[in-house]
Amino acid sequence: MISREPTIERLATARSLLLEPFGLDESHLSKALSAIKAHKVDDADLYFQYTRAEGWSLEEGIVKTGSFSIDQGVGVRAVAGEKTAFAYSDDISEASLMDAAHTVRAIAQAEQNRKAKVPTRKVAGIRSLYPSLDPMGTLNSTDKVQLLEKVEQLARAKDPRVVQVMAGLASEYDVVMVARADGTLAADVRPLVRLSVTVIAEQNGRREVGSGGGGGRFGLAYFDDAMVNAYVNDAVHAALTNLEARPAPAGVMTVVLGPGWPGVLLHEAIGHGLEGDFNRKGSSAFSGMIGKRVAAKGVTVLDDGTISDRRGSLNVDDEGCPSQRNVLIEDGILKGYIQDAMNARLMGVKPTGNGRRESYAHIPMPRMTNTYMLGGDMSPEEIVASMKKGLYATNFGGGQVDITSGKFVFSASEAYWVENGKIQYPVKGATLVGSGPECLKQVSMIGNDMRLDSGVGVCGKEGQSVPVGVGQPTLRIEGLTVGGTA
């Protein structure tokens, strides 16, 4: 059997799902783009998408719900200066494509006696970060149900205090094609799976919740016995720990953040402030700070969409640009921002492969992929042992940030009180309050245990949600405000 190069294979898959069934080919895409370029625009693109999704959920020992959906459509965009015109349709046809093209080009003036130059077709570069498979077909329905039942049985067997188990299994097969005015043609086939576990434990009338899970861009075979057991252990451990938790102290104190998912604080408090649109408009706390110190020495933050199989990774972004490994902060110095095509053009820099959109019905904007901090040279044990008194937060729930000021509020879902270098007891109700830029400057120790999250992140911005990854090593931060319940 002769296999085709992955980029060509993905283009063939996209054509077979998004063009050929509707009597379209690349000449129709060129015709629509030429119609837009008859007016003076700086950029234009067509974004075709086919998405098939499936979900199963278990509660009270029974698989109670199952869902399946198919969605497809095309989004048509024209950009002139800072203005964007956008139209979309779930009807993929030449007529709707041309209607949308004529609609969006009204953003700019018609150019008289101008013959649009036909651009040279450019196929996006070679890259294969994840398999081009349909994850729904990697397990049959019986095996999917048995997987959820196994989660429930394992959780209940861990401890008699576990009184309720909820589990969910989600799979998605996403095929996209992008045609741009500059001649770029790109396609991607994006599998995505996630297994989630939530348990409720009860003791002496008190109930507490714990959760676990993960996933990425691969098939369902990833969830083998060892992986399922690890997710269940995380969920049960969190619930049982919180049964013993005492009210959290409040005040300004030293805080140590654990590795992995606590990087969500980095994502929210720092990452959003480094997105190009906020900095172009001058509304970010990091605006105009490139080349300046914004963090303590040793702090290096990356956004990397090129990590194999990761939830936030992309072969190409939603504008057809290859994803990149972008160093945002290096040894405390701000090096650059996360860019989509429009903001990069307006800021006079190159796109960074971060143009992302929720679906064909949304416009792209600069968004994170996998955002994380590199590790240092301290062991996590040394860092905890260095604390005279303070909070050790190993997991987080929800949070929010004000981009302009950089101020954030985060709730810790699993945390411990530490005195004289020893963990004393778990605490509940701890809330971290601070400023992203100031928080980075107060990092005093960086662990050697950098870890990415297990693959559960979803990022929201301006009403759009996209899958992302986060990560960090164990960090000691001085002088953070903790809002507690004690």
* Strand locations in 60-183 (E): 62-80, 83-89, 122-123, 162-180
Token pair listed for 100: 């949308």
- Please give the pLDDT value at position 4: 67
The rounded distance, in Å, linking the Cα atoms of 428 and 248 is 5
Say whether 261 sits in a helix, a strand or coil: coil
Question: Is beta strand 162-180 parallel, antiparallel or unpaired with respect to 43-59?
Answer: antiparallel
The rounded distance, in Å, linking the Cα atoms of 363 and 8 is 26
- Please give the pLDDT value at position 382: 98
Token pair listed for 403: 């981009």
- Please give the pLDDT value at position 400: 80
Q: ∠ CA(266), CA(459), CA(417), 5° rounding?
A: 40
**Residue with tokens 């604390």, as numbered in its chain:** 387
Find the distance separating the first CA and the last CA of the chain, reported in whole Å: 67
The per-residue pLDDT for range 149-197, each reduced to its tens digit, is 999 999 999 999 999 999 999 999 999 999 999 999 999 999 999 999 9
The rounded distance, in Å, linking the Cα atoms of 317 and 357 is 9
- Please give the pLDDT value at position 125: 64
The rounded distance, in Å, linking the Cα atoms of 278 and 287 is 8
Token pair listed for 425: 């007891």
Q: ∠ CA(171), CA(176), CA(180), 5° rounding?
A: 160
- Please give the pLDDT value at position 205: 95
For 72, 215, 363, 389, the CA distances from 94, given in Å and listed in that order, are 15, 38, 21, 67
Closest by alpha carbon to 58, among 153, 152, 142, 192? Answer: 152
- Please give the pLDDT value at position 123: 64
Q: What is the pLDDT along the chain (486 residues), one digit of tens a residue?
A: 455 688 889 999 999 999 999 999 999 999 999 999 999 999 999 999 999 999 999 998 899 889 999 999 999 999 999 999 999 999 999 999 999 999 999 888 776 545 555 566 666 666 899 999 999 999 999 999 999 999 999 999 999 999 999 999 999 999 999 999 999 999 999 999 999 999 999 999 999 999 999 999 999 999 999 999 999 999 999 999 999 999 999 999 999 999 999 999 889 889 999 999 999 999 999 999 999 999 999 999 999 999 999 999 999 999 999 999 999 999 999 999 999 999 999 999 999 999 999 999 999 999 999 999 999 999 999 999 999 999 999 999 877 888 888 888 989 999 999 999 999 999 999 999 999 889 999 999 999 999 999 999 999 999 999 999 999 999 999 999 999 776
The rounded distance, in Å, linking the Cα atoms of 214 and 198 is 12
